[in-house]
Chain A
């Protein structure tokens, strides 16, 4: 017997680390986080200096430049000599993913898009998850009329067609990020609330809760210190699965034109690129789509693996 025990969280983490696929997904998500942070710093820096950031600067001379790999980076220099390594690197680094119809750098805009996507994922989760968890816990633990009230509330919310509800809220709040945050945040807590409620109801009858009640703990302490850690895996799994969904909704709303305004989000970029696609300008669309697919896929894979690692019901079947 070693001194230090292994918590269920530690076991789950070890289980995740053993899977190579999940490790690479985690690296992808790490890169996504770093890029989003970099985008945020850049954004704040140019706002502070009150300048138009480079990814917004219109330069009609540089319209429709294809990605650097397709611009013959190995072509001879004007004097006919073979290009040096430095020259090739220089050529590759110049608009590596090309430019769009207004001469803006696609790579930089994609990074800014990552920033918006990250913000949307996190802020909507910060709105939706607390609502779902608190209502679910309270309804599940106290039952009776509290439960009736919460069930009535989420049934009502769930009755409304999701996207229309999001759009309605966004219309009321106004176009822009705030509309997206509130629209997605206030409509997507229902699923989590249901899951948490059901799980709390199950745990309420467990002997460890009875023991906590015998020890005279308050209801708040029992719900949030004793039961919540036991349903926390649901919250983590939900978070990892709703994050890409929120990104998708943002893309869709921005595509419709009621989302992000005046900032390059992935949805704005898709909407833009769509118009030039028939002119043979494929690189903007490709860049955005590939990034969205990679990020969403990584999130989903990690979410599934988390479910496997954290859900005690699946654990026994190994």
Chain B
């Protein structure tokens, strides 16, 4: 296999909880608690999980917007952290990010021309008089008219702004684009257009995406591989088609059974009871055992490692002690019926 473009090893991002007059650290929020993943050139890794499971913190840490507590991030074979941020700047150019909220992700006081070309100028990739032509090229890539160059972000709709955000991310010619819920805030029709734009860009530039979404339909459409996160850890990862068709981990099953199925007969939904435990005090053992319908004593005792399952050895892995028993069982089977 090729060397991975992005390699994350056992990454942890904890936020200290401070209390009292002297603001002593009384504990940590384990937002990301030991995540390992790889993204290969041209590949799209989708990350799914419910709100608060650490998806956004994970990608922000990879991007260098948060300080990791432990672990390693390698980009193109070079370790990014804990090297000084400034030393890795040329490398970081290869990785860019598109944000969720199209209304706050563009500086309201800058024209589109400035927004698109500031990065290029700052990195010394173009000269000031080449700004116009470069901005026009970038706009063309995301399917926008060159006439918008001197306008301001507040004059555009959400979908257009997201296109501009994508153009800004594409400006430095990255190999990896991290999309943090990039289409979640958009209308369904616009969402499809932006998704197709992302697919086109992937095809024409051999881009890799790290794609966060809570909409599994979107993930199915765009991702090659999927990683499912729960409470700061990856519980299941595998090829998108396999994982979505035959999920193994009980949490993934619950997630997938929650997709509305309009034309099929009502299925057995796996309705999880209870809330997500606090990330400040995550459960001992398997993170999911407090809500898991299949939980046993050993689940509460120790944390199951990610181990491969299924026929394609090494592609599909699950962090569950009972993975072998659960593999092959139909998705819809919940233990209650």
Spell out A's residues near B (CB within 8 Å): 1, 3-8, 206-208, 210-217, 221, 226, 229-230, 232, 312
Distance of A226 Cα from B145 Cα, bound (Å): 25
A to B CB contacts below 8 Å, 25 in the list: A1-B145, A1-B148, A1-B151, A8-B152, A8-B154, A207-B104, A208-B105, A210-B60, A211-B99, A211-B165, A211-B169, A212-B107, A213-B65, A214-B65, A214-B96, A215-B118, A215-B168, A215-B172, A216-B123, A217-B118, A217-B119, A221-B122, A230-B107, A230-B109, A312-B108
Whether A208 contacts B104 in the complex (CB less than 8 A), given A5-B152, A6-B155, comes out as: yes
Chain A residue nearest in CB terms to B154: A8
- Give min CB distance, A10 to chain B, whole Å: 9
Residues of B within 8 A of A217 (CB): 118-119, 122
Contact B111 A5 (CB under 8 A): yes
Contact A5 B151 (CB under 8 A): yes
Residues of A within 8 A of B38 (CB): none
Q: Answer yes or no: B63 CB below 8 A from chain A CBs.
A: yes
Q: Answer yes or no: B106 CB below 8 A from chain A CBs.
A: yes
Distance of A232 Cα from B107 Cα, bound (Å): 13
Q: Answer yes or no: B244 CB below 8 A from chain A CBs.
A: no
Contact B105 A211 (CB under 8 A): yes
Residue in contact with B63 in the complex, picked from A6, A214, A226, CB distance below 8 Å: A214
Of residues 163 through 220 on chain B, the ones whose CB sits less than 8 Å from some CB of chain A are 165, 168-169, 172
Distance of A111 Cα from B100 Cα, bound (Å): 57
Distance of A214 Cα from B171 Cα, bound (Å): 12
Of residues 101 through 118 on chain B, the ones whose CB sits less than 8 Å from some CB of chain A are 101, 104-112, 118
Residues of B within 8 A of A214 (CB): 63-65, 92, 96-97, 169
- Give min CB distance, A314 to chain B, whole Å: 15
Residue in contact with B108 in the complex, picked from A1, A8, A215, A216, CB distance below 8 Å: A8
Contact B65 A210 (CB under 8 A): yes
Cβ contacts B142-154/A at 8 Å (1 or 0 each): 0001011011101
Contact B109 A207 (CB under 8 A): no
Residue in contact with B152 in the complex, picked from A7, A212, A230, A232, CB distance below 8 Å: A7
Q: Answer yes or no: B17 CB below 8 A from chain A CBs.
A: no
Residues of B within 8 Å of A, CB-based: how many? 37
A207-B105, A215-B119, A216-B122 known; 15 other A-B pairs, CB under 8 Å? Answer: A3-B150, A6-B152, A210-B60, A211-B97, A211-B105, A213-B64, A214-B63, A214-B96, A214-B97, A214-B169, A215-B122, A215-B168, A216-B89, A216-B119, A217-B118
Q: Which of A7, A8, A230, A232 has the most CB of B within 10 A?
A: A7
Chain A residue nearest in CB terms to B145: A1
Whether A215 contacts B96 in the complex (CB less than 8 A), given A208-B106, A208-B107, comes out as: yes
Residues of A within 8 A of B110 (CB): 226, 229
Contact B109 A8 (CB under 8 A): yes
Residues of B within 8 A of A207 (CB): 99-101, 104-105
Contact B99 A210 (CB under 8 A): yes
Distance of A207 Cα from B107 Cα, bound (Å): 9
Q: Answer yes or no: B93 CB below 8 A from chain A CBs.
A: yes
Of residues 80 through 100 on chain B, the ones whose CB sits less than 8 Å from some CB of chain A are 89, 92-93, 96-97, 99-100
Residues of B within 8 A of A230 (CB): 107-109
Distance of A135 Cα from B207 Cα, bound (Å): 42
- Give min CB distance, A175 to chain B, whole Å: 44
Residues of B within 8 A of A206 (CB): 104-105
Of residues 4 through 57 on chain B, the ones whose CB sits less than 8 Å from some CB of chain A are none
Contact A210 B97 (CB under 8 A): yes
Residues of B within 8 A of A6 (CB): 152, 155
Residues of A within 8 A of B151 (CB): 1, 4-5
Contact B148 A216 (CB under 8 A): no
Residues of A within 8 A of B101 (CB): 207
Distance of A206 Cα from B165 Cα, bound (Å): 14
Q: Which of A6, A211, A312 has the most CB of B within 10 A?
A: A211
- Give min CB distance, A227 to chain B, whole Å: 9
Residues of B within 8 A of A312 (CB): 108
Chain A residue nearest in CB terms to B120: A215
Chain A residue nearest in CB terms to B99: A207
Distance of A46 Cα from B89 Cα, bound (Å): 60
Residue in contact with A211 in the complex, picked from B64, B89, B168, CB distance below 8 Å: B168
Contact A5 B150 (CB under 8 A): yes
Residues of B within 8 A of A211 (CB): 97, 99, 105-106, 165, 168-169
- Give min CB distance, B153 to chain A, whole Å: 9
Cβ contacts B253-275/A at 8 Å (1 or 0 each): 00000000000000000000000
Contact B152 A1 (CB under 8 A): no
- Give min CB distance, A20 to chain B, whole Å: 27
Residues of A within 8 A of B165 (CB): 211
Whether A216 contacts B100 in the complex (CB less than 8 A), given A207-B105, A226-B107, comes out as: no
Residues of A within 8 A of B105 (CB): 206-208, 210-211
Chain A residue nearest in CB terms to B95: A214
Distance of A208 Cα from B114 Cα, bound (Å): 13
Residues of B within 8 A of A226 (CB): 107, 110
Distance of A216 Cα from B172 Cα, bound (Å): 11
Distance of A221 Cα from B172 Cα, bound (Å): 18
Distance of A207 Cα from B115 Cα, bound (Å): 13
Q: Which of B100, B104, B155, B169 has the most CB of A within 10 A?
A: B104
Contact B109 A7 (CB under 8 A): yes
Residues of B within 8 A of A8 (CB): 108-109, 152, 154
Chain B residue nearest in CB terms to A214: B97
Residues of B within 8 A of A3 (CB): 147, 150
Whether A216 contacts B104 in the complex (CB less than 8 A), given A3-B150, A5-B152, comes out as: no
